[in-house]
Structure 1
């Protein structure tokens, strides 16, 4: 249930997380008898047991919104030490529980306000920099009155944003719980851009390591293992879910460079931050003390620097947390054999049509592709097979960057069970006014499932009003998703109007087409089952065979 850089997997879910994120230990580390939530105010008069949770060391006051009377949200629950000061760029550190216990001072803690979000990178044309380094929290959505012993299944959601931006309230879950008040949903904040994915020089690997943002997610999962039962959740029934970068956080089907390949990015970043010093030690010391604004500007400048082959801060193959390219690992069975739900949108591509031609676009996105590799792809996607050069561009870049992910993961996953793997093609565009031709693009299903959400720069977000038909369709998708969380199958608790979602396997690669009723009915579904077209299967098989050169 984790996705891809800026959307490799549009949305994916892994049932249970034991082994998904490189065998996350189920036993928490460190002294977790802590007591307070950094950044929240104390709330001494909370008495409503339906909106509070006693973790044994402190009681937290959650928020009950009048619009969702069956849902309680606990905002800003820390799961790790703030990565500030000497902890900047370092691997995630479990909470100092003695410190936070003393800060609580025996009082109820208010967890009713959105916490600080993590420092943001830029969006196209809009600079980043807003946010805080002190941001390692989770938001927890629970049914009203849920208590320890209810053993409700848990969904752990990792937001998208290319590992560069994202603020969890952009993707609220109040209405999910209101629709199905028999699950717990945890939404995680993790370090982004250079703050979460700085590639330090190799001589500092032992001290700082790599992939700090992914390590944040792992620490949050450890916290969930220790404490989600207090909220009514079952730590033995955790489903990891994610969108885009959140979906790839455990499978990372996007180009994964090595730390050495990221060193030009580190040097450029240090120079832009005012740390162009004679050796690596001096550069590292300088950026660890640099002003946040300087670092935010430096990471934005790097993304615009076309001379860098790898100019985005994201996961790397560090041979510790990530030991190889996930596509290759899937093909040889080296992955956690757990139920999987994964899909993409009909017209999805992560490579915008802004380059002079397909060859340039592929080379920019996949720097190791040779001219021979590119010519092979062009031969496999001849212009005569498409209505226009634009459609050819969209399909070849879309399949290589996103649409082949269900096959790359689904075929190997299905070999371990006849009823393990579920894939989809999302085929309903979100409302757009800029074109009469409306493609179904990256994250359109996220718009549908999250109240018409739209990400803005620097942690901002808005919600576009939805029609009754759109909300009814959203309920249909949410029912499938939460059925998977509750039973490992999307059909168990689906809506009656929805089609039976057939399992995916190598001999019969079927998928559900998620589609709003064309007549905008609230009582009729437009969704249906289809078999993956043979030409697409053949093309994706070739793309999968290029996993090593594509570094995914």
Structure 2
């Protein structure tokens, strides 16, 4: 009883302080008023704003349920004047990063967005919106690790929304029986993103944003998500531009191909017997820790099936085809696009190209793998490690630049890039996957179970960061990265199939802060030919 009284007293003091301080940044969305956190003089962060009902209990493994605004309003009126949105929310339940760690941290009640806005912005200002989708292989990731406060501080003329969505088995559990929603729903984690975009369409105007001018942006699995949004049957227009960074060209298996993984998972979690209905009832009653152990076990060598990861699937309803093929068939959203990759990335490990391709693309036949190998003869590379990186990195990630950029350029203004500055904390000159995240987000390095480490950046690094942010937010504001670029930055020429040019984004080699190290280059013909082959094998690769 004493603890309850103290809690009410604390809340009363909190609300009293708000009433006395009229300059506290708040936004009334109609059903609740949210208090933001002023992180710079010109920047406010509204953290953990719910966009959907918590997917707990019977809603576990089901399609996203729109937010019950009546419930939120009633809870807000019971708890005080405003809802405190000054601290980061619980992140979604994590899977293992693949580094031998165990996942499981986080919460199922995680369907929230963080909103970053200029201080003093009002409804009617109609600022363009960046909607950011984090990476992590659809398995892990915490939006807190990729903050946008300094983006708004640099360019206080946009609204930025960063989304939390269900991950790993919680977001992408699949069995063919989900064709009947009585049991569950396909691609629940991707449906979370769609519902968040619908919430933005309905309410971002209250934060000063323009719901008709939303650019979706993501890196890795976030880049893959951008690609999927461009080909998915979403029923309404939810975005007007797209930025896809290092697109995770993951296979989209069928529900039938995922069924062995479902059965392993259910059995490992103690729910392996009975009908699918009985198994799902058991799984919905299982603890998060039991499910976390089961999803980790699948990728830690305890499951022998071909498809051992929980990721988006070809459900035939929301996602009806493989993205690369749908781009080739002109079945995608025609919006301005930026798409690119880092110089040296791959998402495969080991040293055997054939084994790596087979592990990444389980449906590849030996004959197709041999065709891939003939494109990457060892004598064309400086080392075997470089041969492996290019031979796996192009089909894994890099060729997404051509697979999306080529078809897009026939209909919309399109820009491509090659990011060419290594993460300085890596101790390597290799410009690996996610290198740009370190530069764009305060020196972040993702850790285990939703954690990260931020490393201070030098003046030259901060200068390069500002250059990247300027390009990105110019595109968000105008559909063109050049309009509001920094004066020192070069003009970013458009990509076309006849002129496949790209920007090389890199820090000044002399570490100067007043000049840019970025420059334009043409796509090498050998890379174009290899990627054309990878694109032609989209059905075999299932991407």
Q: TM-score, normalised by structure 1?
A: 0.89
Query: Is residue 44–residue 109 contact of structure 1 (8 Å, CA) maintained in 2?
Result: no
The aligned residue for residue 16 of structure 1 is none
The alpha-carbon distance between structure 1 residues 433 and 361, as it changes in their structure 2 partners (threshold 3 A), is closer
What is the correspondence of 1:338-353 to structure 2 with a 5 Å cutoff? Answer: 338-352=335-349
Equivalent position SS for 1:94: coil
- Is the aligned partner of 1:73 residue 2:45? yes
Distance 1:551 1:441 in 2: 24
**Higher helix content, 1 or 2:** 2
Equivalent position SS for 2:255: coil
Given the alignment, which residue of 279, 282, 291 partners 1:283? 279
- Is the aligned partner of 1:44 residue 2:15? yes
Distance 1:324 1:426 in 2: 29
Query: Is residue 50–residue 144 contact of structure 1 (8 Å, CA) maintained in 2?
Result: no
The aligned residue for residue 469 of structure 2 is 478
- Is the aligned partner of 1:421 residue 2:414? yes
- Structure 2: give runs of 5+ residues left out of the alignment: 1-10, 229-248
Aligned residues: CA RMSD: 1.5
Distance 1:204 1:504 in 2: 40
Distance 1:432 1:445 in 2: 12
Superposition deviation, residue 203 in structure 1: 5.6
Query: Is residue 62–residue 72 contact of structure 1 (8 Å, CA) maintained in 2?
Result: yes
Distance 1:404 1:250 in 2: 15
Query: Is residue 200–residue 284 contact of structure 1 (8 Å, CA) maintained in 2?
Result: no
Query: Is residue 337–residue 414 contact of structure 2 (8 Å, CA) maintained in 1?
Result: yes
Query: Is residue 118–residue 135 contact of structure 1 (8 Å, CA) maintained in 2?
Result: yes
Given the alignment, which residue of 157, 162, 186 partners 1:182? 157
Query: Is residue 330–residue 409 contact of structure 1 (8 Å, CA) maintained in 2?
Result: yes
Query: Is residue 175–residue 256 contact of structure 2 (8 Å, CA) maintained in 1?
Result: no
Superposition deviation, residue 381 in structure 1: 1.1
The aligned residue for residue 330 of structure 1 is 327
The aligned residue for residue 532 of structure 1 is 523
Distance 2:426 2:214 in 1: 40
Distance 1:538 1:406 in 2: 13
Equivalent position SS for 2:181: helix
Distance 1:79 1:445 in 2: 29
- Is the aligned partner of 1:138 residue 2:113? yes
The aligned residue for residue 186 of structure 2 is 210
Distance 2:365 2:488 in 1: 49
Superposition deviation, residue 204 in structure 1: 5.6
Distance 2:119 2:186 in 1: 40
The alpha-carbon distance between structure 1 residues 217 and 547, as it changes in their structure 2 partners (threshold 3 A), is same
Query: Is residue 216–residue 226 contact of structure 2 (8 Å, CA) maintained in 1?
Result: no
Equivalent position SS for 2:293: helix
Superposition deviation, residue 231 in structure 1: 0.6
The aligned residue for residue 487 of structure 1 is 478
Query: Is residue 58–residue 107 contact of structure 1 (8 Å, CA) maintained in 2?
Result: no
Distance 1:236 1:434 in 2: 43
Distance 1:442 1:138 in 2: 25
- Structure 1: give runs of 5+ residues left out of the alignment: 1-40
Distance 1:209 1:291 in 2: 20
The aligned residue for residue 120 of structure 1 is 94
Superposition deviation, residue 96 in structure 1: 1.7
The alpha-carbon distance between structure 1 residues 533 and 515, as it changes in their structure 2 partners (threshold 3 A), is same
The aligned residue for residue 61 of structure 1 is 35
The aligned residue for residue 382 of structure 2 is 387
Equivalent position SS for 1:530: strand
- Is the aligned partner of 1:95 residue 2:67? yes
The aligned residue for residue 314 of structure 2 is 317
Equivalent position SS for 2:418: strand
For residues 117-165 of structure 1, the C-alpha deviation after alignment (integer angstroms, 9 at most, x for no partner) is 1000011211100100000000100000010111100000011111010
Given the alignment, which residue of 396, 400, 418 partners 2:395? 400
The aligned residue for residue 35 of structure 1 is none
Given the alignment, which residue of 141, 145, 148 partners 1:170? 145
The aligned residue for residue 493 of structure 2 is 502
